[in-house]
């Protein structure tokens, strides 16, 4: 993988670059199975735009895309494997995700029908251009369905996390979680209504990384200062190799998968680069080392201090105090910016389906801006509804990690690359070891899709009563009262009062 940063593309004449597969029309950009392998509409041709992002901004966007809500659940993943085996699994999963990301890049850059693809669906169309029509339509449908469903699920989870972060920041105020989530949406709306490209607000990308560091480092530093005895529950302990169970292993792998994947957005990220050939440098040499460091600190550090009884998000395991509030503020900013990046991709796809000529991010006409904001507001309202229908963080992460993530981020990219290998006139070099890796990745993805999804659904069913009903107040962890947060760290007085 380290050699990928030195990959260069063979020079291509201008005629070859212009002759590659054009961008899809509105009907093809949707989840519809409609297919057009011939000429595209004039509107579709006019909707192309030149990428502007350099290597460092692209690396920042990848970090913002990958290292989202999933990293806060890393201690929960490590506890299923132990402090010795957990990091090994983490490294293997990160390497697999980097490898699959580079497979997408190779399809996008080396296969002529894919060289102008700017959406995940158009990449799939190009990869399966020479496949039978029914096969192409099926995979285009699966690509669009999995990508848009995953994006929408993430946006709901981010809005839920941002709302909870506001509640944690202002824990003295007795405001319920659905209201905080609505306030988070109102804060986000002005930015979402004007950001039509992932790099529209370049400063927000770097602010997102800083707040991500704050969300992780503030709790860990607090744990270091107060010590293990003050923070770890009495009945919690750590093990080098945990007593693994099938459901625990599936849950841990689902969390790792969810926390590290970005393949469902990489085509859009690559298309916004000035020089897409530099993508391996942005991912392998800049983004991946940062991801490794962040995941190790959050996962191993959180597990060491909290033990196998760790629950919820990393920053929730702090007492109600100033560090708790500062970490919550970082969480709010990080989640809102992560929502903004995901929302650009989903809203652009929806607008392209409805009216493609208005989806060009460089179109400054009033009708185009009005249409964009209409889609943004609709998505925001739908994400708020989803956030309040499924108001539990850990189970939602496991379910997303086991259901849509393997299909959208592992299975489909590998099959795209295999189809590219079968149909390309000049076949890419693939070693026997790489084929073996792809086989293992595919098997793991299929296991998570079926067994992992079943296990997550059973866990949600078993804990549904304790999780509360949709649209309830859900004041747990955001009100410093014994009625809501009696088991929260630092609320020992509630146990004393209950014993009297």
Amino acid 179: pLDDT: 95
Q: What is the pLDDT of residue 314?
A: 84
pLDDT at position 453 is 80
The pLDDT of residue 262 is: 85
In this predicted structure, what is the pLDDT of residue 254?
84
Profile the chain (500 residues) by mean pLDDT over runs of 10 residues. Answer: 44 38 40 42 42 88 78 88 94 95 95 90 94 94 90 87 93 94 94 80 84 91 90 87 89 86 89 92 94 93 90 85 94 90 87 79 84 92 86 64 83 96 90 96 91 78 70 88 87 66
The sign of the dihedral angle between the CA atoms of 383, 66, 103, 255 is negative
User: Which residue do the tokens 């299929």 mark?
Assistant: 446
User: Can you give the pLDDT at residue 490?
Assistant: 82
pLDDT of residue 22: 40
Here the tokens at position 193 are 């209504």
Count of C-beta atoms within a 10 Å radius of residue 133: 11
Q: Give pLDDT, residue 298.
A: 92
pTM of the model: 0.81
Give the model's pLDDT for residue 81.
95
Residue 37 confidence (pLDDT): 41
């Amino acid at each position: 993988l380290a050699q990928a940063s030195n990959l260069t593309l063979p020079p291509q004449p201008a005629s070859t670059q212009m002759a590659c597969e054009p961008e899809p029309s509105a009907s093809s950009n949707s989840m519809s199975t409609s297919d057009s392998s011939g000429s595209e509409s004039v509107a579709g041709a006019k909707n192309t735009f030149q990428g502007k992002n350099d290597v460092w901004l692209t690396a920042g966007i990848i970090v913002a895309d990958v290292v989202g809500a999933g990293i806060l659940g890393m201690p929960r993943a490590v506890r299923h494997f132990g402090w010795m085996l957990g990091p090994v699994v983490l490294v293997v999963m990160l390497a697999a995700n980097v490898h699959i990301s580079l497979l997408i890049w190779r399809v996008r850059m080396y296969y002529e029908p894919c060289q102008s693809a700017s959406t995940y669906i158009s990449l799939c169309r190009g990869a399966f251009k020479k496949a039978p029509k029914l096969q192409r339509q099926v995979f285009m449908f699966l690509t669009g369905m999995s990508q848009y469903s995953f994006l929408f699920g993430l946006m709901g989870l981010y809005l839920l996390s941002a709302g909870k972060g506001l509640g944690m920041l202002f824990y003295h105020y007795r405001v319920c979680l659905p209201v905080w989530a609505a306030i988070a949406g109102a804060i986000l709306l002005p930015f979402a209504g004007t950001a039509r490209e992932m790099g529209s607000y370049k400063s927000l990308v770097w602010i997102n990384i800083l707040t991500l560091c704050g969300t992780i480092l503030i709790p860990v530093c607090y744990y270091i200062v107060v010590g293990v005895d003050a923070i770890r529950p009495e009945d919690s302990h750590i093990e080098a190799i945990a007593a693994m169970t099938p459901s625990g292993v599936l849950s841990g792998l689902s969390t790792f998968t969810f926390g590290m994947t970005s393949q469902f957005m990489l085509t859009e990220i690559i298309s916004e680069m000035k020089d897409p050939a530099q993508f391996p440098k942005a991912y392998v040499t800049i983004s991946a080392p940062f991801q490794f460091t962040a995941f190790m600190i959050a996962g191993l550090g959180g597990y060491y201090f909290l033990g196998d009884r760790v629950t919820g998000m990393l920053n929730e395991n702090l007492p109600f105090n100033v560090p708790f509030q500062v970490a919550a503020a970082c969480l709010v900013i990080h989640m809102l910016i992560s929502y903004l990046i995901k929302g650009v991709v989903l809203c652009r796809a929806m607008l392209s389906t409805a009216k493609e000529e208005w989806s060009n991010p460089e179109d400054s006409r009033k009708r185009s801006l009005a249409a964009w904001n209409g889609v943004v507001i609709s998505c925001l309202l739908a994400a708020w509804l989803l956030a309040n229908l499924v108001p539990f963080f850990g189970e939602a992460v496991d379910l997303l990690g086991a259901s849509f993530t393997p299909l959208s981020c592992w299975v489909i990219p590998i099959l795209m690359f295999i189809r590219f290998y079968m149909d390309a006139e000049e076949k890419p070099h693939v070693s026997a070891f790489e084929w073996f890796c792809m086989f293992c990745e595919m098997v793991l993805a299929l296991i998570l899709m079926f067994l992992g999804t079943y296990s997550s659904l059973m866990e949600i069913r078993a804990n549904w009563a304790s999780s509360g009903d949709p649209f309830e107040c859900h004041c747990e962890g955001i009100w410093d009262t014994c009625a809501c947060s009696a088991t929260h760290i630092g609320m020992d007085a509630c146990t004393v009062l209950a014993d009297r």
